[in-house]
Structure 1
Amino acid sequence: MNCILCKANLTKGRINHIVDLKEGIIIIKNVPANICEQCGDYYLDTKTALELETMVDEINKIKPEVFIVNYNKMVA
């Protein structure tokens, strides 16, 4: 698979996904992703994206100002 932006190769890796909710920020560490070797853009598979969406919805219920969580501990 190639990057949509620059057409370079993608490699499997882990990223820190940051969500800005205006009233707070959620940082989810160690999220599996396909990362562009050239520009650094990343792509999530459908399963991971849905898991992130669920995590963000649950975390947002407590209205944190800053919340940092490890993806592996939330999914396990």
Structure 2
Amino acid sequence: MPVNVDPEADELYDERALRRSGDSVVVTLTPGILRNAGVSVGDEVRIATPFDGGVITIEPVDDGDEGESEAPADA
């Protein structure tokens, strides 16, 4: 599956639908997006959103990082 290129934003992108899987919501990622991000199946990633919302980021976990403070499970 080809990925879209936005040279002005200096990024690769794709548009995907959120899907339900049990009590969770999942999004599939294309091989091109995974390859460009330097991650593969089984890798640990950090998923974050700012308090004011609007954006979700997914980035590889650096094995050398100290654990960040985690939000309570009910957050």
Give the TM-score normalised by the residue count of structure 1. 0.25
Give the TM-score normalised by the residue count of structure 2. 0.25
Comparing both structures, which one devotes a greater share of its residues to helix?
1
Comparing both structures, which one devotes a greater share of its residues to strand?
1
